[in-house]
Amino acid sequence: MKDRFARRMKSLKASEVRELLKISQQPDVISFAGGLPAPETFPVEEMAGIATDLLKREGRKALQYSTTEGDPRLRALLAERMRSSHGIEVSAEDILILSGSQQGLDLTGKMFIDEDDVVLCESPTYLAAISAFKNFSPRFVEVPTDDEGIIIAELEKRLGENDRAKFIYVIPDFQNPSGRTWSLERRRAFLEVASRYEIPVVEDSPYSELCFEGEPMPPLKALDSDDLVVFMSTFSKILSPGVRIGWLTANPALLNRYVLLKQSADLHTSTVGQLLVRGYMDSHDLDADIACIRELYRSRRDTMLKTMDEEFPPGIRYTRPKGGLFLWVELPEHINSRDVLEKCIERKVAFVPGGAFFPNGGHENTFRLNFSNMEEERIVEGIRRLSDVIGTFIGSNVKIVTGAA
């Protein structure tokens, strides 16, 4: 058949994580690859009861078309939660329900990006955001980060050099892939720069409630006095990814445009999914559930870090996240993590090579580890196997490196 595809199809390729999941779903593989929540935290029996009751009481409504903006009661519950838990002053009318927060990234690309426009992002950043935005052929401008977040002087420099910058995409809390969290001072300085340049900010916040240590930082949206921040989040990490329910809030002018784009994309998010989540929030203590998830993930993080501290060869740097699902590893520069992965697959252990998280390439000596989806005994065994493989790549002349990546 004659090639009639759009030009954008030539740049599309399969997600490295999605492809790795095909391998990691084999029962004998110890996978640190996907960002999968622990399935034992899913409220299966509770959801079954809610679903049965829902279909008996509201079956015709649940199986019917719905409004694009989403179920009014669910939006009201989310607004209340955002005010009480996040300090974000919103009403139900300020919220749009999404088919997972990934849809929010796709709609953002559709709204803002023309070919060769500039998207600014942290370096590294979430690879599925790179994929979502790449469909619209932007130029990615990466902004370096440190342990406190995006580096403000570097952000100002890049904004000054790129007059086609359309928005800044960031994950300030327990970032995917690095696990780092921005300091309060960095958040305020960032918003001051965004205000000066009058540039929209897309704040992706799927992990902020998974804080293991200290007090959670306020979202950028809660500190935003100029209404520049588009805040999006999801139930995928605090309830279930399978329900595919996310949400966003933005200033009215932007929110109206998101609604129009969603109308043309899928009309509305699954009515059944929305009403299931609404029913769960009405009848169960979501905060108590999240507290249990935090304890489980904290223990798994501690096990992973302890084993890495004991087993990893010298010359390796890695982050020590205070929440979330991930940590980030830097190998000596002469080692390519894709080569390490190839050998690890032979040993039945998997991770995601770090180059995938840099939209402009490079940094192939890095990789991401997930600690949420493996029992502690398998974390220990997997890290030992990984350490053995890394040891075969490290030369005797590598200096010992301490501290975070």
Residue-range domain boundaries for the chain = 7-42+288-392, 64-283
Residue 193 has pLDDT above 60, yes or no: yes
Residue range 68-81: mean pLDDT, rounded: 98
pLDDT value for 401 = 41
CB-side neighbour CA atoms (13 Å) of 184:
7
Residue 3 has pLDDT above 90, yes or no: no
pLDDT value for 395 = 65
In angstroms, rounded to a whole number, what is the distance separating the alpha carbons of residues 206 and 364?
26
Residue 55 has pLDDT above 80, yes or no: yes
- pLDDT tens for each residue of 153-175: 999 999 999 999 999 999 999 99
Beta-carbon contacts of 107 under 8 Å, excluding residues fewer than 6 positions away, are: 98, 258, 261, 262, 265
Check if the beta carbon of residue 104 is closer than 8 Å to that of residue 232.
Answer: yes
In angstroms, rounded to a whole number, what is the distance separating the alpha carbons of residues 99 and 102?
8
pLDDT value for 399 = 40
pLDDT value for 164 = 96
pLDDT value for 34 = 87
CB-side neighbour CA atoms (13 Å) of 133:
26
Q: How many CB atoms lie within 10 A of CB 240?
A: 21
What is the CATH number that goes with domain 7-42+288-392? 3.90.1150.10
* Backbone phi, psi, residue 21, to 5°: -60, -30
Check if the beta carbon of residue 270 is closer than 8 Å to that of residue 119.
Answer: no
Mean pLDDT of all residues belonging to the chain: 93
pLDDT value for 28 = 87
If we measure between CA atoms, which residue out of 130, 125, 118 comes closest to residue 149? Answer: 125
Distance between start and end Cα atoms, the chain: 49
Give the model's confidence band at 18: pLDDT under 50 very low, under 70 low, under 90 confident, else very high. low
Residue 204 has pLDDT above 80, yes or no: yes
Residue 140 has pLDDT above 90, yes or no: yes
Residue 192 has pLDDT above 50, yes or no: yes
pLDDT value for 400 = 37
Task: Give me 203's structure tokens.
Answer: 């704040």
> 26 or 29: which carries more pLDDT confidence?
29
In angstroms, rounded to a whole number, what is the distance separating the alpha carbons of residues 97 and 270?
10
pLDDT value for 397 = 41
pLDDT value for 189 = 98
What is the CATH number that goes with domain 64-283? 3.40.640.10
Beta-carbon contacts of 359 under 8 Å, excluding residues fewer than 6 positions away, are: 121, 125, 130, 134, 140, 142
Check if the beta carbon of residue 364 is closer than 8 Å to that of residue 353.
Answer: yes
Residue 52 has pLDDT above 50, yes or no: yes
In angstroms, rounded to a whole number, what is the distance separating the alpha carbons of residues 73 and 271?
12
Task: Give me 79's structure tokens.
Answer: 């607004």
Q: What angle do CA 62, 243, 218 make, to 5 degrees?
A: 115
| Cβ neighbourhood burial of 35 (10 Å; 0-12, 13-18, 19+) | buried
- pLDDT tens for each residue of 219-245: 999 999 999 999 999 999 999 999 999
Residue 313 has pLDDT above 70, yes or no: yes
Residue range 175-181: mean pLDDT, rounded: 98
Residue 398 has pLDDT above 50, yes or no: no
| DSSP conformational letter for 242 | G
Give the model's confidence band at 40: pLDDT under 50 very low, under 70 low, under 90 confident, else very high. very high
> What pTM was computed for the model?
0.93
If we measure between CA atoms, which residue out of 129, 133, 141 comes closest to residue 171? Answer: 129
| DSSP conformational letter for 402 | -
Residue 12 has pLDDT above 70, yes or no: no
Residue 402 has pLDDT above 60, yes or no: no
- pLDDT tens for each residue of 333-391: 999 999 999 999 999 999 999 999 999 999 999 999 999 999 999 999 999 999 999 99
Percent with pLDDT over 70 in the chain: 92
pLDDT value for 14 = 64
Check if the beta carbon of residue 145 is closer than 8 Å to that of residue 123.
Answer: yes
In angstroms, rounded to a whole number, what is the distance separating the alpha carbons of residues 204 and 168?
11
Q: Which residues pair with 345 in a beta bridge?
A: none
